[in-house]
Structure 1
Amino acid sequence: MEQAKDHYLSKKQDPSLKLFVVLSKAYRAVSDQVAKDIRSHGLNTTDFAVMELLYHQGEQPLQKIGDKILLASGSITYVVDKLEKKDLVKRKPCPEDRRITYALLTEQGQKLLYDIFPEHWKQIEAITAGLNETEKREAIQLLKQLGRYADEFANNEL
């Protein structure tokens, strides 16, 4: 029992768990505010993520969208179907490879993003204003480093 207590106390000095908790809480707080802003425009975060990707990077193969916005491939079909019904996104077959289908914004989808993105960007700036520009750049580098290491760790575990 005493040994377990000593182990716990030595672990308590390690900031790893604290980092995980703080990172999780910060992500949740920022994410909740961003989602609230997106909902105010009549979209959910997944619909917006797909549309934002297409807005900034142009047409994309359906098979690649999930990787880029961290969404399961089955979900992409569902999201694109919904956006297609709203006339915000359309599918376009690849002329060279019938297995590939692209998603792209319709004119209505482009107009919607063109109208709402500047205000959305301002909201993100306001939500993240707790850090100055230098701190944001440092946080970006540290979080990238942490993410890359976690990916490598996961790959080495296999």
Structure 2
Amino acid sequence: MSNEKVFVDDTQSWYAKGYFSLVRTAGWVDIKLKEALKPFGITHVQLNILSLLAKNHPEPMDAKSIKEKLVVKSPDLTRLLDRLVKKGLIDRRTCPENRRKIDITVTEEGIQTFYDIHCIAKAAVNNYFEDNLSEDDAKELYRILAKIK
């Protein structure tokens, strides 16, 4: 093996610092959300599904539409929906106009659960952002993250 360095440490560049800061912050947000949601036995992606259905209520959504709009992507949407049905938070029914389509709606209990948990999740994360960022900072953060995406 030669005496040349195999790995060049570029972690001092602003690009690397920005990347590592983004990853650490995303991990921190994920941990805070998991802690806030744990007492309710619900995951972030399940809360996201309830949010989509509550915003669309009383109109149903299909699984494809839900999957496209999820903030937290999940390859296993069917099992997530099964769990929410078992908890009584959503309903699945065959669409009367198209028997191949399944209509998914949020139940009244699901709406109430969403609003109760949403407030707690928001307090766990958003208050941190609101307490530490100005509105202009938040706009700039959004702009930069949208640019990266």
TM-score, normalised to structure 1, is 0.77
Residue 44 (structure 1) aligns with: 43
Give the alignment of 1:116-131 within 5 angstroms.
Answer: 116-128=117-129, 129-131=131-133
Q: Contact 1:37/1:123 (CA < 8 Å) preserved in 2?
A: yes
1:55-91 CA distance string (max 9 Å, x none) = 123332112222222221xx11101111111111001
One-letter amino acid of the counterpart of residue 36, structure 2:
D
Question: Quick one: distance in 1 between partners of 2:36 and 2:5?
Answer: 47
Residue 141 (structure 1) aligns with: 143
1:21-61 CA distance string (max 9 Å, x none) = 11100110112102211223331222212112211233321
One-letter amino acid of the counterpart of residue 67, structure 2:
G
Residue 60 (structure 1) aligns with: 61
- Cα shift at 1:107: 1.3
Number of aligned pairs? 143
State the superposition RMSD in angstroms. 2.4
Comparing 135-144 with 58-67, greater Cα deviation is found at: 58-67
TM-score, normalised to structure 2, is 0.81
Q: Contact 1:39/1:45 (CA < 8 Å) preserved in 2?
A: no
Q: Contact 1:55/1:105 (CA < 8 Å) preserved in 2?
A: yes
Question: Quick one: distance in 1 between partners of 2:14 and 2:137?
Answer: 20
Residue 115 (structure 2) aligns with: 114
Point out which structure has higher relative CO (alpha carbons under 8 A, 6+ apart). 2
Q: SS where residue 105 of structure 2 aligns?
A: strand
**Unpaired segments of 5 or more residues in structure 2?**
none
- Cα shift at 1:132: 2.0
- Cα shift at 1:3: 7.7
Question: Quick one: distance in 2 between partners of 1:145 and 1:137?
Answer: 12
Q: Which has the higher helix share?
A: 1
Q: SS where residue 138 of structure 2 aligns?
A: helix
1:111–1:22 CA distance, 2 compared to 1 (3 A): same
